[in-house]
């Protein structure tokens, strides 16, 4: 081979090696970008995998009347197979508990309320956080012991805020004082009609919970804990009043009015906080260094 050809091959080989090394490093940096947020899609848009269903009066995962279903990429709460509501309050629970996170839900109300649904439940639903598990609920229990981020749709008759707080079997603190009022309105505007609404919930263990719409905090409180009433037919061994809620399950409600959820996602704020690890994330607020990886 001519000397110039050898030189050209050497140059090309050097360039290729440099490119591969650069590409590998770039890929690793992209893969391990500590600022890149890794959202978990709790609802996958296809089915109810990883969710448990509990409807009052029915066994775990007895989805009476096909109440919870997936159609056209949305999770629907429907009552077209009911003759009447019959106090069949339902909840669908993601099967994994969380403690520190940001949850995002996009929902809309539509259609008519189920026959004989309670008046207060018209265009009413919500997401439960720090909830007991579906498995720990008794058959006749109406609501899980949890913190409810209440969703309300406008009725065309004046203000009706959403992202409110309700407390089935729980209490919170506000301004350093125990807050025992069952439902507390947020400062949100009213969302009339069938429009989609995006609500974010920031949950920091037993420290603080914030409700947000369009990046604006509309309600904030501290020290979620078990206590008070507004829940019936529960297992007394589960309801230990005064216990701070450090973690729990996430659930969506079925309270007699049809609703659709097109997004249910979560940003876990617990994980590896060792900056030398390949799975370190800058946005974590609670360390679980048992998950650290060093490859």
Predicted local confidence at residue 29, as pLDDT: 44
Whole-angstrom Cα distance, residue 225 to residue 202?
A: 16
Does the pTM surpass 0.85? The reply is: yes
185 is a domain residue: yes
19 is a domain residue: no
Whole-angstrom Cα distance, residue 51 to residue 62?
A: 12
Residues of the chain with pLDDT under 70: 1-30
8 is a domain residue: no
Long-range contacts of 15-18 (CB under 8 A, 24+ apart): none
* Residue pair 131/263 in contact by the 8 Å Cβ criterion: no
29 is a domain residue: no
Predicted local confidence at residue 295, as pLDDT: 81
Separation of CA 222 from chain center: 18
- Domain of residue 162: give its range: 39-270
Q: How many CB atoms lie within 10 A of CB 143?
A: 23
Predicted local confidence at residue 198, as pLDDT: 98
Predicted local confidence at residue 111, as pLDDT: 96
Predicted local confidence at residue 229, as pLDDT: 84
Residue 19 neighbours by CB under 8 Å, 6+ apart: none
Q: What is the number of structural domains in the chain?
A: 1
Whole-angstrom Cα distance, residue 219 to residue 239?
A: 25
Domain CATH code at residue 156: 2.60.120.560
3 is a domain residue: no
287 is a domain residue: no
Predicted local confidence at residue 22, as pLDDT: 45
24 is a domain residue: no
116 is a domain residue: yes
């Amino acid at each position: 081979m001519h000397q110039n050809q050898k030189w050209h091959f050497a140059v090309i080989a050097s360039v290729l090696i440099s490119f591969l090394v650069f590409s590998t490093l770039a890929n690793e940096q992209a893969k391990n970008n500590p600022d890149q947020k890794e959202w978990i899609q709790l609802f996958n848009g296809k089915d109810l995998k990883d969710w448990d269903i509990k409807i009052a009066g029915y066994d775990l995962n007895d989805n009476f009347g096909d109440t919870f279903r997936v159609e056209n990429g949305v999770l629907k709460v429907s009552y077209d197979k009911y003759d009447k509501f019959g106090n069949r309050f339902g909840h669908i629970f993601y099967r994994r508990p969380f403690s520190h996170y940001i949850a995002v839900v996009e929902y809309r109300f539509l259609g008519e309320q189920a026959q004989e649904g309670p008046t207060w439940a018209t265009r009413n639903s919500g997401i439960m956080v720090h909830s007991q598990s579906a498995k720990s609920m008794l058959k006749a229990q109406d609501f899980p012991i949890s913190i409810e981020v209440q969703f309300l749709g406008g009725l065309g008759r004046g203000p009706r805020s959403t992202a409110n707080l309700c407390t089935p079997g729980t209490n919170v603190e506000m301004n350093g004082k125990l807050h025992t009022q069952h439902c507390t309105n947020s400062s949100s505007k009213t969302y009339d009609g069938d429009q989609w609404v995006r609500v974010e919930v920031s949950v920091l263990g037993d420290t603080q919970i914030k409700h947000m719409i369009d990046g604006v905090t509309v309600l904030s409180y501290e020290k979620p804990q078990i206590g008070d009433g507004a829940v019936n037919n529960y297992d007394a061994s589960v309801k230990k009043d005064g216990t701070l809620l450090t973690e729990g399950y996430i659930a969506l409600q079925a309270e007699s009015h049809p609703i659709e959820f097109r997004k249910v996602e979560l940003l876990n704020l617990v994980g590896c906080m060792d900056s030398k690890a390949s799975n370190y994330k800058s946005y974590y607020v609670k360390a679980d260094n048992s998950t650290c990886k060093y490859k």
